[in-house]
Amino acid sequence: MDNRFKHIIDGYFEKLEEILPSKRIDLKKSNEGIHLSNNALYLLKLIVEKKGFKSIEEEIYFFKRVKSEPLSYLVYFSEVRSCELLMPKIGLGNQLNFLEKKIKRINKFFNRNWDFVHYMEQELTYLDVQYFTRSNQVFPLYSLPEACYLDPKFFTSHDMLWARIKGMNKFILYLQKLIKLLKLEKHKALQIEKPKRALVWSASKAALTELIYALYSSSAVNNGKEDIKGIASAFEDLFNIRLDNIYKTYAEIKSRKDSKTRFLEELIIRFNQKVYEDDGI
């Protein structure tokens, strides 16, 4: 990168790191981002007006690689600000519908410009002179935040379209994170609203002890790495029951004169009976 522009871009990204959070950008942050991007573009514009370019290659590089960075973030922060201002304030469902419509609008934008998107994503260069030099200027027929940079000395036919594409790519990621965040909030709200019915163990504590030891012996919990105490604790929480001394209960089960596994055998009988009844046998 030309040293004339490098210190501006480096300083811009250094300050940008202070604005970009990991989750959601509020109006204050988006306004800071717009101001920062505008300032960087203003400084770049002064240099271009004063010193120009030494070659066509230098001009192409500037409008394709340099200017598009702060301009794409100007697009991004402007879209975020608009989104936060217009998004419904009440109702997670309403907010999600609003964001889904935003996604559809962006998809239409990319579909309209698919040929240029393809050109840039494939890193082609054969049309760079037409797209990124000022000798082929074509005024865009839209009014957007970046339109204030339509000074004949500071725009090309496609540099703003390229910046808008890059900005929209950033905005898509923001929308996806926001949708994920809102869906998580909606899920939590539904969980809170849905009353949970407590489960009560209605058989004997000895029966539950049989089940616990059977699960432990068959390595059915945590691949056999969970001990008796851990399994028992989980069942106590699940059924809101205290098992007291489970090891003593197990000793009593072992000392039975008849079957040691009364409850487990009954489970097998009951289950088979249920299966036969459901199959009409």
CB of 254 closer than 8 Å to CB of 260: yes
Q: Over range 53-74, report the average pLDDT.
A: 94
Rounded to 5 degrees, φ, ψ at 255 are -90, 5
DSSP string, 6-34: HHHHHHHHHHHHHH--SS---HHHHHHHH
Q: Is residue 141 over pLDDT 60?
A: no
pLDDT tens, position by position, 221-260: 998 888 998 899 899 888 888 888 899 999 999 999 889 9
Q: What is the mean pLDDT of the chain?
A: 88
Q: Is residue 196 over pLDDT 90?
A: no
Q: Which pLDDT score, from 0 to 100, does residue 215 have?
A: 93
Q: Is residue 143 over pLDDT 50?
A: no
* Paired tokens of 128: 């760079």
Q: Which pLDDT score, from 0 to 100, does residue 22 have?
A: 61
Q: How far apart are CA 11 and CA 40, in angstroms?
A: 9
Please report, rounded to a whole number, the percentage of residues in the chain having pLDDT higher than 70: 90
Give the angle subtended at the CA of 85 by the CAs of 81 and 89, to the nearest 5°.
135
pLDDT tens, position by position, 17-28: 988 876 678 888
Q: Is residue 70 over pLDDT 50?
A: yes
Please report, rounded to a whole number, the percentage of residues in the chain having pLDDT higher than 90: 61
Q: How far apart are CA 13 and CA 9, in angstroms?
A: 6
Q: Which pLDDT score, from 0 to 100, does residue 42 have?
A: 92
Q: Is residue 175 over pLDDT 70?
A: yes
* pTM of the shown model: 0.65
Q: How far apart are CA 67 and CA 40, in angstroms?
A: 9
CB of 77 closer than 8 Å to CB of 34: yes
Lowest mean pLDDT among 32-41, 134-143, 153-162, 233-242: 134-143
CB of 29 closer than 8 Å to CB of 37: no
Q: Which pLDDT score, from 0 to 100, does residue 207 have?
A: 93
